[in-house]
Amino acid sequence: MKTNLLYIKKIFFLVCLLSIACCVFAQEEALKEAETVYTQEDYTKAIELYREILTTYGESAEVYYNLGNAYYKAGKIAPAVLYYERALLIDPGDADIRFNLEMARQKTVDKIEPIGDFFLVKWFDAVQNRGAADSWARLGIICFLAFIVCLLLFFFSRWTYMRKLGFYSGLVFLVLVVATNIFAGNQKREMVNHTAAIVFSPTVTVKSSPNQSGTDLFILHEGTKVSIRNTLGEWYEIELEDGNVGWMPAKDIEII
């Protein structure tokens, strides 16, 4: 009986491995097909293939990035910005994604100057954006283990200089544990909350209240990034990087 159960478990394990291998192989083949079509400059077909890959195999920074490239080459700036932003959420440390996103933003009509941040805030964001949530979480675990080693060194070493080394190194690793957890939490929050969006309508008038009778405040064009502050029915209260606030229809924007 035990032999039969062990045999069944082995068969099940092998079937699972083969299924995973087939899935990975199929995804790689789909990516190669999409890349081939892209190099042939058939961007409409490439967009279709990359979207199918996302539907079939789930989210991926690589696929979002390639889809953004295809939309950019096709001259569709709003979707290009959207998919670059989605790729950046998954892999915020990728320099190529940031560069192409900036190139796409330069094609948009609205040139919005962000409110100047304190230099420490900019430095904090720059460091945080060098890695994704999972990367910061893994680094936090490593730093915590190193902190434990330093504690053991401090409490149990017979040499004074080793105890000092353990103490000061432990402080450094403790700070790193706190910092990496903050970075990981912030990155995870951005991925989960989805409070940013891209304008998809060619032009949209932002109102002072969530209805068409509201006062016209300003006009936005496709490709502009906004932050969603509140929702009311079919309307979103949005905020721009320069601090301007207003209401616009939900149908005119796509959440990142």
Domain check: are 35 and 71 in the same one?
Answer: yes
Count CB-CB contacts under 10 A for residue 57. 15
Domain endpoint, select from 105, 139, 167: 105
- Do 208 and 228 lie in one domain? The reply is yes
The pLDDT value given to residue 4: 57
- Say how many CA atoms lie within 13 Å of 15 toward its Cβ: 6
pLDDT of residue 21: 46
Examine the pLDDT at 73 and tell me if it is beyond 90.
yes
Q: Is residue 111 part of a domain?
A: no
CATH, residue 80: 1.25.40.10
184 and 205: one domain? no
- 129 with 46, same domain: the answer is no
- Does the pLDDT at position 82 exceed 80? yes
CATH number for the domain spanning 215: value is: 2.30.30.40
**Whether residue 186 sits in one domain with residue 208:** no
Among residues 44, 78, 105, the one where a domain terminates is 105
- Predicted TM-score (pTM) of the model is 0.79
| Calpha distance 218→216 (Å, rounded) | 6
DSSP labels, the chain:
-HHHHHHHHHHHHHHHHHHHHHHHHHHHHHHHHHHHHHHTT-HHHHHHHHHHHHHHH---HHHHHHHHHHHHHTT-HHHHHHHHHHHHHH-TT-HHHHHHHHHHHTTSS--PPPPPPPHHHHHHHHHHTTS-HHHHHHHHHHHHHHHHHHHHHHHH-SSHHHHHHHHHHHHHHHHHHHHHHHHHHHHHHHHHH--EEEE-SSEEEEESSSSTTSPEEEEEETT-EEEEEEEETTEEEEE-TTS-EEEEEGGGEEE-
The residue-averaged pLDDT of 196-214 equals: 94
Task: Assess whether 98 and 22 both reside in one domain.
Answer: yes
Q: Is residue 95 part of a domain?
A: yes
In a domain, 59, yes or no: yes
Is residue 114 one of the residues assigned to a domain?
no
In angstroms, what CA-CA distances link 86 with 70, 80, 196? 15, 10, 10
Residues 94 and 131 in one domain: no
Predicted pLDDT at 22: 47
Identify whether residues 75 and 18 lie together within a single domain: yes
Q: What is the pLDDT averaged over residues 93-110?
A: 93
User: Does residue 113 fall inside a structural domain?
Assistant: no
- Give me the mean pLDDT over the 29-56 stretch: 93
Is residue 112 one of the residues assigned to a domain?
no
Q: How many domains does the chain have?
A: 3
Q: Show which of 80, 105, 130 is a domain's final residue.
A: 105
Full residue range of the structural domain in which residue 148 is found: 119-193
Residue 24 belongs to some domain of the structure = yes
Asked if 84 and 21 sit in the same domain, the reply is yes
Q: Which residue has the tokens 């709003």?
A: 78
Considering only residues 9 and 205, tell me which one the structure prediction assigns the higher pLDDT.
Answer: 205
Query: Is the predicted pLDDT of residue 52 greater than 80, yes or no?
Result: yes
